[in-house]
Amino acid sequence: MRRRFGNNRDQNERVFNIEEWTPRTELGKKVKAHEVTSIEQIFHSGKRIEEREIVDALLPNLKSEVIEIMSVQRMTKNNRKAKYRVTAVVG
Protein backbone atom coordinates (compact mmCIF):
# COMPACT_ATOMS: atom_id res chain seq x y z
CA MET A 1 0.00 0.00 0.00
CA ARG A 2 1.54 3.26 -1.09
CA ARG A 3 0.48 6.60 0.32
CA ARG A 4 1.63 9.98 -0.88
CA PHE A 5 1.41 13.20 1.06
CA GLY A 6 1.38 16.32 -1.07
CA ASN A 7 0.35 18.72 1.65
CA ASN A 8 2.79 20.42 3.98
CA ARG A 9 2.26 19.27 7.56
CA ASP A 10 4.29 22.17 8.96
CA GLN A 11 1.72 24.81 8.07
CA ASN A 12 1.49 25.83 11.71
CA GLU A 13 5.25 25.59 12.19
CA ARG A 14 6.64 26.71 15.50
CA VAL A 15 9.19 29.48 15.76
CA PHE A 16 12.33 28.54 17.68
CA ASN A 17 13.44 31.01 20.34
CA ILE A 18 17.00 30.35 21.55
CA GLU A 19 16.46 32.43 24.71
CA GLU A 20 13.64 30.15 25.95
CA TRP A 21 15.60 26.96 25.21
CA THR A 22 17.19 25.09 28.13
CA PRO A 23 19.98 22.88 26.71
CA ARG A 24 20.51 19.43 28.25
CA THR A 25 23.88 18.50 26.72
CA GLU A 26 27.34 20.05 26.75
CA LEU A 27 27.11 20.70 23.01
CA GLY A 28 23.74 22.40 23.46
CA LYS A 29 25.17 24.68 26.14
CA LYS A 30 28.04 25.65 23.81
CA VAL A 31 25.59 26.45 21.00
CA LYS A 32 23.46 28.62 23.28
CA ALA A 33 26.59 30.45 24.55
CA HIS A 34 27.62 31.04 20.89
CA GLU A 35 30.87 29.07 21.33
CA VAL A 36 29.77 26.83 18.44
CA THR A 37 28.44 28.91 15.55
CA SER A 38 28.15 26.48 12.63
CA ILE A 39 27.14 22.90 12.04
CA GLU A 40 30.47 22.30 10.27
CA GLN A 41 32.26 22.79 13.61
CA ILE A 42 30.17 19.96 15.07
CA PHE A 43 30.88 17.67 12.11
CA HIS A 44 34.64 18.32 12.30
CA SER A 45 34.71 17.62 16.05
CA GLY A 46 32.90 14.29 15.55
CA LYS A 47 30.30 14.95 18.25
CA ARG A 48 26.75 13.66 18.04
CA ILE A 49 23.82 16.05 17.83
CA GLU A 50 21.47 14.79 20.54
CA GLU A 51 19.03 17.71 20.68
CA ARG A 52 16.89 18.91 17.79
CA GLU A 53 17.14 22.46 19.08
CA ILE A 54 20.84 22.53 18.15
CA VAL A 55 19.93 22.21 14.47
CA ASP A 56 17.11 24.75 14.92
CA ALA A 57 19.57 27.25 16.43
CA LEU A 58 22.33 26.78 13.83
CA LEU A 59 20.10 26.43 10.73
CA PRO A 60 17.03 28.60 11.43
CA ASN A 61 15.61 28.61 7.87
CA LEU A 62 15.61 24.84 7.39
CA LYS A 63 12.38 23.45 5.89
CA SER A 64 11.26 19.84 5.55
CA GLU A 65 8.44 18.05 3.79
CA VAL A 66 7.40 14.40 3.90
CA ILE A 67 6.92 13.08 0.38
CA GLU A 68 6.04 9.44 0.97
CA ILE A 69 5.31 7.04 3.83
CA MET A 70 5.37 3.37 2.94
CA SER A 71 4.82 0.28 5.08
CA VAL A 72 7.44 -2.46 4.60
CA GLN A 73 7.42 -5.96 6.07
CA ARG A 74 9.82 -8.86 6.40
CA MET A 75 9.16 -12.39 7.54
CA THR A 76 11.01 -13.95 10.45
CA LYS A 77 10.68 -17.47 11.81
CA ASN A 78 8.04 -16.35 14.27
CA ASN A 79 6.08 -13.58 12.60
CA ARG A 80 6.11 -10.53 10.37
CA LYS A 81 8.09 -7.45 11.32
CA ALA A 82 6.44 -4.26 10.11
CA LYS A 83 8.31 -0.98 9.70
CA TYR A 84 7.78 2.25 7.82
CA ARG A 85 9.96 3.76 5.13
CA VAL A 86 9.75 7.54 4.90
CA THR A 87 10.99 9.75 2.08
CA ALA A 88 11.51 13.36 3.09
CA VAL A 89 13.02 16.46 1.52
CA VAL A 90 15.05 18.72 3.80
CA GLY A 91 16.65 21.94 2.70
Interval 70-87: pLDDT, tens: 999 988 888 899 999 999
pLDDT, position 76: 87
Alpha-carbon distance of 8 to 66, in angstroms, equals 8
- Identify whether residues 53 and 72 lie together within a single domain: no
Q: Is 70 in a helix, a strand, or coil?
A: strand
- Identify whether residues 72 and 86 lie together within a single domain: yes
- Total domains in the chain come to 2
Alpha-carbon distance of 30 to 28, in angstroms, equals 5
- Identify whether residues 46 and 69 lie together within a single domain: no
- Identify whether residues 25 and 54 lie together within a single domain: yes
Q: For residue 41, give its domain range.
A: 17-59
Question: Residue 50: pLDDT band by 50, 70, 90 thresholds?
Answer: very high
User: Contact 36/47 with Cβ under 8 angstroms?
Assistant: no
